[in-house]
Amino acid sequence: MRLAFLGTPEASVPSLRALIDAGHDVALVITRPDRKRGRGGRLSPSPVKECAQELGLRVGHRLGDLDGVKVERGVVVAYGRLVPSELLERIPMLNVHFSLLPKWRGAAPVERAMLAGDEETGVSIMTLEPELDTGPVHLEKRVAIDDKTLATLLDELATLGAQALTEVLGSPQLLANPHAQGGDATYAAKLTKEDFHLTSSLSPTQLLRIVRLGQAYLEVGSRRILVESAASFDGDEVASGSITLRNGRVALGASGGAIVLERVRPESAKSMSALSWWSGARFDHDVAQWT
CATH 3.40.50.170 boundaries in the chain? 2-188
Q: DSSP alpha helices (H): ranges in the chain?
A: 13-21, 47-54, 85-90, 109-115, 150-169, 172-176, 204-211, 274-281
- CATH code at 2-188: 3.40.50.170
Q: Tens-of-pLDDT digits for all 291 residues of the chain?
A: 999 999 999 999 999 999 999 999 999 999 999 887 766 678 899 999 999 999 999 999 999 999 999 999 999 999 988 999 999 999 999 999 999 999 999 999 999 999 999 999 999 999 999 999 999 999 999 999 999 999 999 999 999 999 999 999 999 999 999 999 999 999 999 999 999 999 999 999 999 999 999 999 999 988 899 999 999 998 888 999 999 998 889 999 999 999 999 999 998 899 999 999 999 888 877 888 998
| DSSP-assigned beta bridge partners for residue 266 | 225
Measured between alpha carbons, how far is 31 from 63 in angstroms, rounded to an integer?
9
CATH 3.10.25.10 boundaries in the chain? 193-289
Angle at 34 between CA 29 and CA 35, to 5 degrees: 145
Measured between alpha carbons, how far is 129 from 84 in angstroms, rounded to an integer?
9
- Fold category of 193-289 in CATH: Methionyl-tRNA Fmet Formyltransferase; Chain A, domain 2 (3.10.25)
CB-based contact 11:123 (threshold 8 Å): no
How many Å is the Cα radius of gyration of the chain?
22
